[in-house]
């Protein structure tokens, strides 16, 4: 009750300008699908929403509580697999599968947390990787249950229907767009509430100094597990969403170390421990990765007339640059980390405050 | 009056090393107890045992008559016992106000109430002008005061201060002494580890001397200064 009143009070104190900007952006996003009639643009937006959900969830544990889990694929995969297994083998609509996935993920999180949170710093990171590897190998070998390395292909997505009223069907991209948007806004809202409540103070105190927090009446294992449970629940949501949207999952994508690192990168690139850091991270990483994959650099060079399409150089770039997209992506990520240690958002803030200081 | 804190035969072993061995004493409410001894005598280890960071290897600890042996530090804090750290531990990326609010949130779930408590404690230590400074950017003297404000915000009945004057200049030390006496006037019991002998003799009602993990002596400051064993082990001839 008191916490609830507190949150209402804090909402009242929020200055109107950021709130208006937020509402305007949300409004624009709601109007996006009818105005922009391009499945590819919608696809990119959906991937951005997915990355926002993943990044914000990790941010609650990594950014606010300071526990750098490099094993979030565990919860992503738990959500994806639970939804997919129920949908494909039991014909359960993905909405219920998603809720089941959240329950499975929280349970997984509490088991992993109760073991890994005994460790701190780099040892926790290693343990989180190991725990997720165990899950990946389990999914790979429990063939009767998960189809093993073959993965699961969604052949038919049962729509959610109440009586004769159709709530959602999944034949176009539009429902995915709106569901992704709502989920992304929800996880941003939850992050905001966490930051403006006692829980957020306890999380941040543990991040800054666990022993000091402990001496100030904060139970570290309680709050670390709470943080992980919130984080895992939303990561699982992202996993379920991914599974239904892409329509195919296997252990080497949804339960891989790559996936775990990808989740962490969204936050590192955007800015750790800030509400909008993961949003910025998603806005940078998703288009970047798509652009590199579709070989936009070579296209640009050719259209700009810098490289002749038929010359050996042009041929070489056309053939190989698309394959090197992971390499280029990696190099760009390293550059960002080197020159913007607080992420893109922190870098922008520094430039803005620097300019203000010069003006003053 | 009954003791607020009572130690009965407390020992702490690290492997074969006895960091504390068979230490017993009691503290009366409202008093300041000095804890002195050479480096490595086991003063900080004893603090860690009392506040729950280490479970004692042997012996029992009672706080307000209840056994607290083996309780976790957060439980001990909520029972009303708070400690500061020899090496200060500010929550560096948070503001001064947020640091103290973390302490205050030990007693309330409301951020507004915690903010009020925190402002109150910050004015006690004279830092009400610095509420929005980032804690990591403060000089050592203010970090120590911040830490005092933060533990006071947990509303302790017993405060354990681990070398709060270490590394401070004479003027800053004087401020801390004034603060300790002010806290005493508010009825909060304190146990103080300190190497500054002049300060400890001035503020303590009673003093416990540790040496090599054992309790060497206990008494009023005057008795301690006159105790030949203490003089030999720690104080040296000039103080006698």
Instruction: Enumerate the residues of chain B whose CB falls inside 8 A of the CB of residue A216.
Output: 74, 77, 82, 102-103, 106, 150-151, 154
A123: exposed, middle or buried (Cβ count in 10 Å: 0-12, 13-18, 19+) = exposed
CA distance B185 to chain A (A): 23
User: Distance (Å, rounded) from C-alpha A174 to C-alpha A229?
Assistant: 30
- Same structural domain, B73 and B162: yes
> Which pLDDT score, from 0 to 100, does residue A303 have?
77
- Same structural domain, B120 and B192: no
Mutation site, B54, B89, B135, B161, interface A, largest A CB count within 10 A: B89
Domain boundary at B104, B134, B155, which? B155
Number of domains in chain B: 2
* Predicted-complex ipTM score: 0.89
Instruction: Enumerate the residues of chain A whose CB falls inside 8 A of the CB of residue B73.
Output: 211, 214-215
Q: Count CB neighbours of A232 within 10 A.
A: 32
User: Distance (Å, rounded) from C-alpha B165 to C-alpha A213?
Assistant: 22
User: Distance (Å, rounded) from C-alpha A100 to C-alpha A240?
Assistant: 10
What tens digit of pLDDT does each residue of A252-269 get? Answer: 989 999 899 989 989 998
- Give yes or no for residue A218 having a pLDDT over 50: yes
- Same structural domain, B75 and B163: yes
Question: What is the β-pairing status of strands A152-153 and A248-249?
Answer: antiparallel
CA distance A120 to chain B (A): 16
What tens digit of pLDDT does each residue of B165-222 get? Answer: 888 899 999 999 999 999 999 999 999 998 888 889 999 999 999 988 889 989 999 8
- Same structural domain, B166 and B235: yes
- Same structural domain, B76 and B1: yes
> Which pLDDT score, from 0 to 100, does residue B4 have?
92
- Same structural domain, B73 and B98: no
> Which pLDDT score, from 0 to 100, does residue A12 have?
64
- Considering only alpha carbons, which residue of chain A is nearest residue B149? A216
- Same structural domain, B76 and B166: yes
Q: What is the CATH number of the domain that holds B223?
A: 3.40.50.300
Across the interface, which of A6, A212, A219 has its CB nearest the CB of B110? A6
- Same structural domain, B200 and B235: yes
Q: Which residues 184-213 of B are in CB contact (within 8 Å) with A? A: none
What tens digit of pLDDT does each residue of B12-23 get? Answer: 999 888 899 999
Residue from A282, A285, A272, A299 nearest A330 by CA: A285
Domain boundary at B132, B155, B178, which? B155
- Considering only alpha carbons, which residue of chain B is nearest residue A200? B102
- Considering only alpha carbons, which residue of chain A is nearest residue B155? A216
- Same structural domain, B98 and B137: yes
What tens digit of pLDDT does each residue of A289-342 get? Answer: 888 777 777 777 777 777 777 777 777 777 777 677 778 778 888 888 888 888
Q: Which residues 80-119 of B are in CB contact (within 8 Å) with A? A: 82-83, 85, 89-94, 98, 101-103, 105-106, 109-112, 114
Contacts (Cβ under 8 Å, ≥6 apart) of B173: B165, B196, B199
Domain boundary at B114, B140, B155, which? B155
Domain that holds residue B96: 89-155
Bridge partner list, B8: B60
First-to-last C-alpha distance (Å) of chain A: 45
- Same structural domain, B168 and B221: yes
- Same structural domain, B123 and B183: no
> Considering chain A, what percentage of its residues have pLDDT values greater than 90?
46
């Amino acid at each position: 009750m008191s916490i609830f009143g507190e949150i209402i009070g804090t909402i009242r104190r929020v200055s109107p300008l950021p709130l208006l900007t937020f509402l305007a952006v949300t409004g624009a996003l709601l109007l996006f699908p009818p105005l922009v009639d391009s499945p590819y643009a919608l696809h990119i937006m959906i991937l951005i929403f997915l990355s926002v959900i993943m990044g914000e969830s990790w941010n609650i544990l990594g950014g606010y509580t300071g526990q750098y889990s490099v094993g979030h694929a565990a919860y992503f995969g738990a959500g994806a697999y639970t939804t997919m297994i129920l949908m494909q083998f039991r014909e359960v609509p993905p909405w219920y599968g998603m809720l089941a996935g959240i329950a499975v993920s929280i349970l997984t999180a509490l088991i992993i947390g109760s073991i890994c949170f005994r460790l701190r710093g780099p040892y926790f990171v290693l343990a989180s990787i190991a725990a997720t590897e165990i899950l990946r190998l389990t999914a790979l070998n429990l063939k009767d249950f998960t189809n093993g390395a073959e993965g699961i292909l969604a052949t038919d997505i049962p729509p959610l229907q109440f009586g004769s009223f159709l709530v959602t069907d999944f034949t176009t991209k539009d429902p995915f767009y709106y569901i992704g948007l709502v989920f992304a806004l929800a996880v941003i809202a939850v992050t905001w509430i966490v930051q403006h409540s006692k829980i957020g103070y306890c999380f941040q105190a543990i991040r800054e100094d666990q022993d000091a927090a402990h001496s100030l009446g904060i139970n570290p294992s309680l709050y670390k597990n709470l943080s992980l449970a919130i984080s895992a629940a939303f990561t699982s949501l992202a996993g379920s969403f991914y599974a239904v949207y892409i329509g195919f999952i296997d252990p080497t994508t949804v339960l891989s170390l790559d996936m775990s690192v990808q989740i962490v990168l969204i936050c590192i690139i955007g800015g750790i421990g800030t509400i909008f850091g993961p949003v910025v991270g998603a806005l940078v990483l998703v288009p970047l990765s798509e652009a590199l994959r579709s070989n936009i650099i070579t296209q640009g060079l050719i259209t700009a007339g810098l490289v002749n399409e038929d010359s050996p150089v042009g041929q070489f770039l056309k053939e190989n640059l698309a394959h090197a997209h992971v390499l280029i992506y990696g190099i760009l990520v390293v550059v960002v980390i080197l020159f913007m240690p607080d992420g893109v958002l922190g870098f922008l803030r520094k430039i803005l405050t620097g300019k203000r200081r010069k003006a003053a | 009056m009954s003791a607020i804190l009572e130690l009965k035969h407390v020992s702490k072993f690290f492997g074969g090393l006895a960091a504390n061995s068979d230490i017993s004493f009691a503290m009366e409410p409202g008093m300041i107890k000095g804890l002195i001894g050479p480096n490595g005598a086991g003063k900080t280890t004893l603090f860690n045992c009392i506040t729950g960071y280490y479970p004692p290897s042997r012996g029992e600890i009672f706080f307000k008559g209840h056994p607290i042996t083996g309780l976790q530090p957060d439980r001990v804090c909520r029972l009303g016992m708070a400690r500061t750290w020899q090496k200060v531990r500010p929550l560096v990326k948070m503001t001064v106000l947020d640091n103290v609010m973390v302490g205050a949130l030990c007693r309330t779930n409301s951020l507004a109430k915690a903010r009020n408590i925190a402002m109150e404690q910050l004015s006690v230590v004279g830092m009400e002008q610095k509420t929005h400074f980032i804690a990591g950017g403060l000089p050592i003297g203010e970090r120590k005061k911040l830490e005092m404000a933060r533990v006071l915000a947990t509303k302790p009945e017993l405060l354990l201060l681990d070398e709060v004057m270490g590394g401070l200049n004479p003027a800053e030390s004087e401020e801390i002494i004034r603060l300790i006496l002010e806290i005493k006037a508010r009825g909060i019991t304190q146990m103080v580890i300190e190497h500054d002998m002049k300060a400890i003799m001035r503020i303590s009602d009673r003093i416990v001397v540790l040496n090599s993990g054992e309790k060497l002596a206990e008494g009023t400051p005057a008795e301690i200064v006159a105790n030949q064993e203490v003089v030999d082990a720690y104080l040296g001839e000039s103080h006698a």
